[in-house]
């Protein structure tokens, strides 16, 4: 190695350390979005502004490009699609056409700017670590709140993070109302996949006890939550994890065969221990939880399911009037208004998107997400550290999109990281592949 190489390596190390310091606002912002979604927005707005400028500074100080052209095209197409259907909504006189501009245009542009500042590999790894730590924090806060409200522990030393949080104790089960429970629809499956893919990594991202501790605590909170979406995605997580592992190179699959078997056995054991503990603590009945979960999909047995069944029928009927281009963003069905203040807002995300954008718009958005899955599959097939990072993220993204079907999480700023964190890893991987055809570690 000559003097020039030494100088270049030293400069890269300095830039990497500087990027990690500059990423502190975005790391804290991500932690808060996971812990307190939809709350404390003024604090997040200040952090977002700081993260935006520090990301630009970090990107400016890097000699190489920080946003791959394919990533930039993906974002611009996303924004252009949003603008096009906002214009259609305006032309049709839909009241929410401008209101949704933040979701479909502004937030994606801001996130891609943050992505440019997080292109450093060390910074990306720290963002993934934050997902694990924030899950542990969500579980601890939720469990502590339930125990306090149930009278098992003294009054909490933690302040209430949400003004409308609450818990109901019923015979055989508990129903918890905390907005951060939505975080678990991504992070629990993420942790299941991480427990497999990170086990025998040459450079472990985090100590195994942190991953398993967060996973067990999250499962305990999920059992207490009474949320059908969380229970469903937690049950699907091992299946999606096995699908992701199957994409890895053969040599890496063989190394993970033991950890995968151990994980499945450990999950069954953890569920049994959690059910036994909750049953002894306050009469938790797993059979009642199953009945409650099953009734959630029966319109005749659940009021919320009945409302969603009516909503689905009305949205499909409304879509049939404008099947190709829809009613435009901000449009709503005049015969079915769920929220008079926001009449264009519905629980069923995908039928709403079909109604508002038609076949053309729905296909465009689906293709954009399909591109993310295609690139993620390429990364996992290539193997290495990048694959081990991506596998849990794509499993979490998949289960989150399932939960999003009946709760429009992606229409909120606090949950858009679910899409842009995997996109950040894809962006780094594409840049590395252009620079060197040999896959680089993440």
Instruction: Using the Cα atoms of residue 27, residue 31, residue 34 and residue 37 in order, give the sign of their dihedral.
Output: negative
Distance in angstroms (rounded) separating the CA atoms of residues 431 and 207: 29
Query: Could you tell me which residue, 150 or 246, shows the higher pLDDT?
Result: 246
Amino acid 147: pLDDT: 83
Q: Is residue 261 part of a domain?
A: yes
Q: Is residue 440 part of a domain?
A: no
Token look-up 């991504």 returns 186
Q: Is residue 110 part of a domain?
A: yes
Among the residue ranges 84-93, 107-116, 359-368, the one predicted with the least confidence is 107-116
Q: Give the residue from 34, 24, 75 showing the smallest Cα distance to 426.
A: 75
Task: Kindly state the DSSP code that residue 160 receives in the 8-state scheme.
Answer: P
Residue 30: is its pLDDT beyond 80? yes
Q: Average pLDDT for residues 97-104, to the nearest whole number?
A: 94
Mean pLDDT of the chain: 85
Tell me the pLDDT band of 411, cut-offs 50, 70 and 90: very high
Q: Is residue 442 part of a domain?
A: no
Residue 246: how many CA atoms within 13 Å on its side-chain side? 7
pLDDT tens digits for 388-404?
Answer: 999 999 999 999 999 99
Among the residue ranges 40-49, 161-170, 272-281, 395-404, the one predicted with the least confidence is 272-281
Distance in angstroms (rounded) separating the CA atoms of residues 205 and 385: 10
**Could you tell me the residue range of the domain that residue 357 belongs to?**
3-435
pLDDT tens digits for 239-271?
Answer: 899 999 999 999 888 888 777 777 777 767 766
| Residue 59 token pair | 């990107």
Q: Is residue 441 part of a domain?
A: no
Q: Average pLDDT for residues 46-58, to the nearest whole number?
A: 90
| Angle of CA points 47, 412, 67, to nearest 5° | 60
Distance in angstroms (rounded) separating the CA atoms of residues 281 and 275: 10
Among the residue ranges 178-192, 271-285, 303-317, the one predicted with the least confidence is 271-285
Radius of gyration of the chain (CA): 23
Q: Average pLDDT for residues 412-418, to the nearest whole number?
A: 96
With a pLDDT cut of 70, the percent of the chain lying above it is 83
Number of domains forming the structure of the chain: 1
Phi, psi angle pair for 223, to nearest 5°: -65, -35
Distance in angstroms (rounded) separating the CA atoms of residues 80 and 414: 22
Token look-up 């709140």 returns 145
Q: Average pLDDT for residues 410-437, to the nearest whole number?
A: 92
Q: What crossing angle do the helices spanning 41-60 and 3-22 adopt, rounded to 10°?
A: 170
Distance in angstroms (rounded) separating the CA atoms of residues 274 and 185: 19
| Residue 267 token pair | 């999950």
Residue 441: is its pLDDT beyond 60? no
Which range, 19-33, 122-136, 167-181, 294-308, is most confident?
122-136
Residue 283: is its pLDDT beyond 70? no
């Amino acid at each position: 190695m000559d003097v020039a190489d030494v100088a270049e390596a030293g400069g890269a190390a300095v830039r990497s350390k500087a990027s990690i310091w500059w990423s502190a606002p975005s790391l804290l912002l991500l932690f808060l979005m996971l812990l307190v979604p939809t709350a404390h927005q003024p604090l997040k707005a200040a952090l977002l502004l700081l993260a935006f400028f520090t990301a630009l500074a970090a990107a400016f100080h890097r000699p190489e490009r920080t946003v791959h052209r394919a990533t930039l095209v993906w974002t611009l197409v996303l924004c252009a699609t949003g603008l096009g259907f906002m214009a259609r909504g305006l032309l049709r006189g839909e009241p929410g056409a401008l209101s949704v501009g933040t979701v479909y245009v502004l937030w994606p542009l801001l996130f891609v700017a943050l992505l440019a500042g997080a292109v450093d590999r060390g910074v990306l790894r720290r963002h993934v670590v934050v997902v694990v730590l924030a899950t542990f924090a969500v579980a601890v806060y939720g469990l502590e709140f339930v125990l306090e409200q149930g009278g098992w522990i003294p009054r909490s030393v933690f302040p209430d993070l949400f003004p409308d949080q609450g818990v109901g104790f019923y015979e055989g089960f508990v129903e918890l109302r905390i907005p951060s429970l939505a975080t678990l629809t991504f992070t629990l499956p993420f942790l299941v996949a991480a427990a497999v893919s990170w086990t025998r990594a040459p450079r472990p991202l985090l100590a195994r006890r942190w991953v398993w501790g967060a996973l067990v605590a999250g499962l305990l909170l999920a059992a207490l939550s009474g949320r059908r979406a969380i229970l469903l995605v937690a049950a699907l997580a091992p299946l999606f994890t096995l699908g992701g592992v199957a994409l890895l190179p053969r040599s890496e699959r063989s190394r993970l065969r033991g950890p995968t078997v151990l994980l499945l056995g450990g999950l069954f054991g953890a569920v049994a221990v959690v059910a036994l503990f909750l049953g002894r603590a306050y009469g938790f009945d797993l059979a009642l939880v199953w009945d409650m979960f099953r009734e959630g999909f029966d319109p005749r047995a659940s009021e919320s399911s009945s409302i969603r069944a009516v909503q689905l029928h009305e949205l499909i009927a409304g879509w049939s009037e404008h099947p190709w281009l829809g009613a435009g963003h901000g449009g709503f069905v005049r015969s079915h208004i769920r929220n008079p203040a926001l009449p264009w807002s519905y629980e069923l995300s995908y039928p709403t998107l079909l109604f508002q954008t038609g076949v053309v718009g729905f296909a465009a958005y689906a293709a954009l997400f399909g591109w993310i899955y295609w690139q993620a599959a390429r990364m996992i097939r290539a193997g290495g550290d990048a694959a081990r990072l991506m596998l849990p993220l794509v499993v979490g993204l998949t289960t989150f999109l399932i939960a999003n079907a009946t709760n429009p999480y992606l229409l909120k700023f606090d949950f858009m990281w679910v899409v842009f964190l995997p996109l950040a890893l894809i962006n780094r991987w594409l840049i590395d592949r252009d620079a060197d055809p040999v896959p680089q570690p993440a």
